[in-house]
Structure 1
Amino acid sequence: MSKNAVSQLLLRALLATFRLCKALLLLLFGFLSWCFSSTIEYLDRRYRIKEDFHIVPFFLKSVFCYCIDLKSHKFQYWYHFVKQVEQNGDCMAISYPRPLAKKGDFQLESYTYKETYDIVLRLSYVMYQHYGVRAGDNIAVDSTNKPLFLFLMLAAWNIGAVPAFLNYNTLGKPLVHALKISSISQVFIDPQASGPIKSSEKIIQEELPDVKLHYLNENDLMQSLQDPQFPQFLQEEDVRSPQDLTDYRPAMYIYTSGTTGLPKSAIMSWRKAVIGCKLFARILHMDNQSIVFTAMPLFHSTATLLGVCAVWSAGGCVAISNKFSASNFWKEAYLTNATHAQYVGETCRYLLHTPVSKYEDMHSVKVAYGNGLRPDIWQKFRNRFHIEVIGEFYAATEAPLATTSYQKGEFGIGACRNYGSIVQWFLSFQQTLVRMDPEDDSVIYRNSKGFCERPAVGEPGEMLMRIFYPKRPETSFQGYVGNKKETESKVIRDVFRKGDAWYRTGDLLRADKYGLWYFMDRMGDTFRWKSENVSTTEVEDEIMNSNQEDFDQVVVVGIKVPGYEGRAGFATIKLNNPGIPERRKVAILNEMLIHLTRELPKYAFPIFVKLVDTIEMTDTNKVPKKKFRNQVLPHGANGKDTIYWLKDYKEYKKLTSKDWAAIESQDAKL
């Protein structure tokens, strides 16, 4: 064999060896990459580290920048809005499908950040020069959902005034009380919201003669505000931001319902409006391309803070519906190109009960977030409306902190706190659950040393939020204006050690083995029967699971029964078809009983049931359960209601006067 041939053979052998080594290296690299990605996927499933790395660096950077803003005394939301005007001036800030005369038709209005800014400066001129609004004033905004509401809010912030957002359905004494406790000097009224306040003018003038009511002409006002020649007013910074202003002072007042039936004015601090909303936007993956659609009332913190302020902090757009309409919800979301949509209370259930619409498949919403989405319809809602992510959160208007969840797939359904291990560890210093007294779930348990204890996994406990400076609780929890008693009732001290202080949420939550938290009940909604705790939410879920064809909605409470300890379960069920025959009503209740027997212990069965045509809701689509506890047996307050009872835990039948007499005498045992 010639030298040439030998050389060629050696060269081929070397090339083959090189290719083999290359292939082996590629295989090794692929194997290592697979191992690495599998490890990452496993760690993410187990510890949710991807979301940690999405949140933690951003949080640290935001807190650092916020500290700089505190030092420069530019921590108010106005300065953050101005930054967005400078950075995203030509981007959309507000989108509004204005309802037209023909029901279901809309005209889309939109305003860029720069347009919004110019309009706000012109409105500031009107408010400052024509109405005499000054820095430090408390003014009320009485408006429906529309751009005017947001213009009024921003104009107040520019001037340095504090806006209070009235529930435009409030009238009479509650309205006067709301104005009084917040020391309101002037009220700016949208014509669409003017009815209740006009009917209350006399009592306002009698009790608050110095309060000025301004009925705005929206059409004329908006024409002036969009005129480039109209004068503008920009407040001087040292007037808007005096040296004694702190970031826990009010950015706005939000009214919540009170135990006496009168509203309470919760202080929403600049800290919550700025850093809280900025972090919330990050957790919900908002950016300058995001459009948040909200049909929730802007006088509520869910819409104004977690909708408007959150998406603006990311440079995105808020799309506001004038009023929630289940039939038009997805049409409006489609018209505004929304990427995110808010829900509250029973909103999602209402949407599921609407006829199928073409807009369900045309909208671009990928994230639905809010609070009150029940586990029994969680996946149905996602699947029908093509929602990729559910952002269930827990928050109270006055609470210093919130919990959130960014839930995909099957893991974490129903959770309202779902973070990675790093964030969970960090939050353990800020939020906790404490055990309840075994004999009374409205009382926090204290051990022999007088301290509280954390509940076991799966055991319900009241959620507490830390007050970092116990001697000055207002730095964490600002409470309610003019209501010291209610404010102090929300603070509990000496919880885990002498001298500490925590904010009481008044809500029961539970933790699972993964560290996820789930909302269970308002304290007091859980009741004791047969010496056992009954979760109203759990019973409601199982009743709905038993028959979603006939049942539209259910409310469960505990009621007092003469001669019995604790409270007996009382279920109010709204039927899809109230006109079904009486025999069928009894039949579906006993079909429900078969399901409950499989899923619940006997003590949790509702002893009494009432079938109704409608269930009263609040303005934010929540059930006012306190009203349902005042049941009059055996035939309701009007003496005409049909109520059913569970006889011997074997069957439901009509509750007659004779049956009730037997129950009262305990001849018939419950």
Structure 2
Amino acid sequence: MSFLDIPVFIISRLFTLLFRLIRIILFPFAKLITWTCGDYFVKLDKRHRITEDFYIIPTFFKYVFQYIWAVRTHRFQNWYIFIKQVKNQGDNLAIRYAKALPTKGDFELESYTYKELYAIVLRLSYILVNTYHVQPGQHIAIDCTNKPLFIFLWFSLWNIGAVPAFLNYNTMGKPLIHSLQISDIAQVFIDPEASIPISKSEEEIKNALPGLVLNYLDEKSLYETIMHPQSPEFLQEDELRTPKELTDYKPSMLIYTSGTTGLPKSAIMSWRKSSVGCKLFGHVLHMNPDSIVFTGMPLFHSTAALLGACAILSQGGCIALANKFSASQFWKQAYLTEATHVQYVGEVCRYLLHTPKSEYESMHRVKVAYGNGLRSDIWQQFRKRFNIEVIGEFYAATEAPFATTSFQRGEFGVGACRNYGTIIQWFLQYQQTLVKVQKDDDAIIYRNEMGFCEVSDVNEPGEMLMRIFFPRKPETSFQGYLGNAKETKSKVLRNVFRNGDAWYRCGDLLKADEYGLWYFLDRMGDTFRWKSENVSTTEVEDQVAASNEQEIRQVTVVGIKISKYEGRAGFAVIQLAKDVASVSAEEKMALLNKTLAYLNQSLPKYALPILVKFVNKIEMTNNHKVIKKIYREQKLPKGESGHDELFWLKNYNEYKVLTLEDWDDIEQQKVKL
């Protein structure tokens, strides 16, 4: 009998016992070193993060070996991780939901154990198969707000063997239709709370996609059925859920992201990423069966779906949901759900710091806050005010094959999004790197006289790249975007350090310090982040231009930094058909507000341009590319000369001339952008 003939469960158990033995040996050894070496070990650990490396490395190998066996036995899908947790953590909580009551600030807790969740999923699966005729392999869209129903639908589709696609419930019109087309969606299941945008686009959807089925759910009636213990159940056959041709780099779900095409892209979340990747992420963030992760981030984004729900459920813990983020109620919801971890984006932390002090700030049991975009200047202020022990800043793009993480305590590593020990950093240098960009245009990677890229120097901005291990078959590492081969190909950079290699382009600028820690700097190219959302400049440009083709000759949109605000606000530069000097400020405002009425029907609120400038000519290069860099560096509020006339979107209601008094209110945050 060969090694490969040994039953999987025996091999898995042997590896588990081996790693437990390693921990038993290493733990007292580490304690002995700490006791005998005292302050020297503390300093050494601070410099090389030895303790954290030894926490991560054994489990990393354990998970990798387990996953290899899962692939070999064709049981690599998240469904099988879930089944294992139902068996091991059956009476443990899987979902908590702080359901808002009519009286503001009052909540009712909905809670579901793993056993209860499993039973609900089987009952809902029966309905989806027998009433709606959902089939294995179909792409089924979920248009749902943050609530248990989202997860019920999601896991039911996984049970059946269908691929869920998470629609942004703010999307409507052309972007919505495009999302449905590129993903080959067969049916959409619509939560009543998310129904307004899609119902407004229903006629357009039916004209463009006559075969698509829109299912407006009756939530009350549906709940009565799936909560009743006598309702019929459906468990899919393994051979249909996981057919022989299914590979671990095929989509487990589809999540939409903005891009330079001007329309949403359907990013493929592979089984490898959503299962073993999220499981490892959960371990790095110190999640376990006693952990409860609270999120107010939308589940249609990868932050909440993968790094929230998939990560904690893979560890046998609980995902706690808020229907939407509320700065005033955040800590009350964290307290009520007994959260140990909370998710943030940079804006969330700033919003929370600007709320009045609340009794719940000191009553919660949160130890870890994790997310991305937390500014260094408020990092410690946020932690100290809310009594947070650990900040878990990470870097991850929706479609990226890997993520970077940080588990930061104390003073060392503030602001870093990649903070590992020396051992892991040595290993990661073969998987992740930062390469130099051209000094006059940071959207273009620098290549030397040999035609190869160069690694960025310490504290020098560079674009982050992630290695594609099989260049001839890049989809095994980077799955890209469904139905968009051009955009997928554009994210793969070849011949980087030698002929024939291939790397995934993250499209973001980071820098490394002398300790090897990485820090996020900015986004590159034609997307920027505002209100926790990625905004496509091309999409905004197209909609602004389409709003008035007679008067607007050309428009370019960039993200512009505004002091004390996270991300970049939309800044539209408009070239009119007539000379700018001949148009009064009142006429410009009238044009902008007429444009605003159009944009409110075609763009989500976060994509609306906050600032606008009119010019006689938009600056372009010799090869007819807009020089966006000069507009991204626009000096506010009146330009270098002090005489620029800018307009701003006041209270998201109307465009007005930006005065010095307005600018002072913005800087002092007396008005919200």
With the shorter chain as reference, the TM-score category is 0.7 to 0.9
Tell me what 2:461 maps to: 460
Q: How does 1:353-372 map to 2 (within 5 A)?
A: 353-372=354-373
* Residue equivalent to 1:149: 150
Work out which of the two has the higher radius of gyration on C-alpha atoms and give 1 or 2.
Answer: 1
- Give the direction of change, closer, same or farther, for the CA distance of 1:219–1:442 in structure 2 (3 Å limit): same
User: Structure 1 residues 622, 467: closer, same or farther in 2, change over 3 A?
Assistant: farther
**What is the aligned partner in structure 2 of residue 202 from structure 1?**
203
CA distance in 2, matches of 1:239, 1:655: 63
Q: Distance in 1 between matches of 2:350 and 2:358?
A: 16
SS at match of 2:260: coil
| CA distance in 2: counterparts of 1:196 and 1:300, whole angstroms | 18
Q: What are the superposed Cα offsets for residues 479-533 of structure 1, whole Å, 9 maximum, x if unpaired? A: 0011111100000000000000000011010000000000011124899xxxxxx
Structure-2 separation of matches of 1:140 and 1:647: 49
Are 2:614 and 1:632 equivalent residues in the alignment? yes
Give unmatched runs, 5+ long, in structure 1.
Answer: 1-29, 528-535, 545-551, 563-615, 635-641, 658-670
In structure 1, the residue corresponding to 2:195 is in which secondary structure? helix
Structure 2 match to 1:91: 92
State whether residues 345 and 622 of structure 1, in contact with CA within 8 Å, keep that contact through their aligned partners in structure 2.
no
> Could you tell me which residue of structure 1 aligns to residue 213 of structure 2?
212
Deviation at residue 538 of structure 1 after TM alignment: 12
Percent identity, aligned pairs only? 61
SS at match of 1:515: coil
Q: Does residue 374 in structure 1 map to residue 375 in structure 2?
A: yes
Q: Which secondary structure does the structure 2 equivalent of 1:115 belong to?
A: helix
8 Å contact from structure 1 (residues 187, 212) kept in 2: yes
In structure 2, the residue matched to 1:321 is 322
Could you list the structure 1 runs, at least 4 aligned residues long, displaced by more than 4 angstroms after superposition. Answer: 30-34, 524-527, 536-540, 552-562, 621-624, 626-630, 652-657
Maintained 8 Å contact 2:469/2:477: yes
Counterpart position of 2:25: none
CA contact (8 A) 1:441 1:526 kept: no
Alpha-carbon distance change, 373 to 525 in structure 1, aligned in 2, over 3 angstroms: farther
Q: Give the letter for the 1:250 counterpart.
A: P
Match of 1:196, as an amino acid? P
Q: Hey, what does 1:60 align to over in structure 2?
A: 61
- 8 Å Cα contact 1:458-1:511 kept in structure 2: yes
Partner letter of residue 632 of structure 1? F
* Secondary structure, aligned partner of 1:432: strand
2:345 and 2:373 in contact (8 A); partners too: yes
Query: In the alignment, which residue of structure 2 is the partner of 1:582?
Result: none
Quote the offset at 1:204 in angstroms: 1.0
**Structure 1 residues 252-651: aligned runs within 5 Å:** 252-524=253-525, 543-544=563-564, 555=568, 627=609, 631-632=613-614, 644-645=637-638
Distance change >3 Å, CA 33–CA 82, structure 1 → 2: closer
CA distance change for structure 1 residues 391 and 656 in 2, over 3 Å: closer, same or farther? closer
Q: Is the 8 A contact 1:291 1:339 kept in 2?
A: yes
| Alignment size in residue pairs | 545
Is the partner of 1:502 in helix, strand or coil? Answer: strand
Backbone CA RMSD of aligned residues: 2.9
What amino acid is aligned across from residue 486 of structure 2 in structure 1? K
Q: Separation in 2 of the partners of 1:199 and 1:557?
A: 26
Aligned equivalents of 2:644, 2:138: Cα separation in 1 = 59
Q: CA deviation at 1:629?
A: 7.8
Map Cα deviations across residues 149-194 of structure 1 (whole Å, 9 max, x no partner).
0000000000000000001111111111111100000111111111
- Residue 261 of structure 1 deviates from its aligned partner by 3.1
Q: Which amino acid aligns with 2:418?
A: R
Determine if contact 2:369/2:392 at 8 Å carries over to the other structure.
Answer: yes
Unaligned runs of 5+ in 2: 1-30, 529-557, 576-598, 617-634, 648-673
User: Hey, what does 1:104 align to over in structure 2?
Assistant: 105
Instruction: State the one-letter code of the partner of 2:102.
Output: A
Per-residue CA deviations over 1:332-383 (Å, capped at 9, x if unaligned) read: 0000000000012311111111111111111111100001111111111111
User: Which TM-score applies when normalising by structure 2?
Assistant: 0.77
* Change beyond 3 A, Cα 1:643–1:495: closer
1:257, distance to aligned residue in structure 2 (A): 1.3
Tell me if structure 2 keeps the 8 A contact 1:290–1:339. Answer: yes
Aligned counterparts of 2:489 and 2:445: Cα–Cα separation in 1: 16
Deviation at 1:197, TM superposition (A): 1.1
* SS at 1:377 equivalent: helix
Q: Post-superposition shift, 1:628?
A: 5.9
Please give the per-residue CA displacement for 1:294-319, whole angstroms capped at 9, x wherever unaligned. Answer: 00000000000000000011110000
Any conservation in 1 of the 2:53–2:424 contact (CA below 8 Å)?
yes
CA deviation after TM superposition for structure 1 residue 31, in Å: 11
Residues 31, 411 of structure 1: alpha-carbon distance in 2 compared, 3 angstrom cutoff: closer
1:655 CA displacement:
5.2
Work out whether residues 452 and 496 of structure 2, in 8 Å CA contact, stay in contact via their aligned partners in 1: yes
1:302 partner amino acid: T
State the shift of 1:289 in Å.
Answer: 0.3
Q: Alpha carbons of 1:319 and 1:449: their partners in 2 closer, same or farther (altered >3 Å)? A: same
Q: 1:277 to 1:131 in 2, by over 3 A?
A: same
SS of match in other structure, 2:255: strand
Whether contact under 8 Å (1:520, 1:537) holds in the other structure is: no
Q: Please tell me the residue identity of whatever aligns with 2:638.
A: W
Aligned in 2, Cα 1:453/1:643: closer, same or farther, shift over 3 Å? closer
Aligned to 2:248: 247
Equivalent residues in 2 for 1:8-157 (5 A)? Answer: 34-157=35-158
Specify the code of the residue in structure 1 equivalent to 2:499. Answer: K
**1:523 alignment partner AA:** M
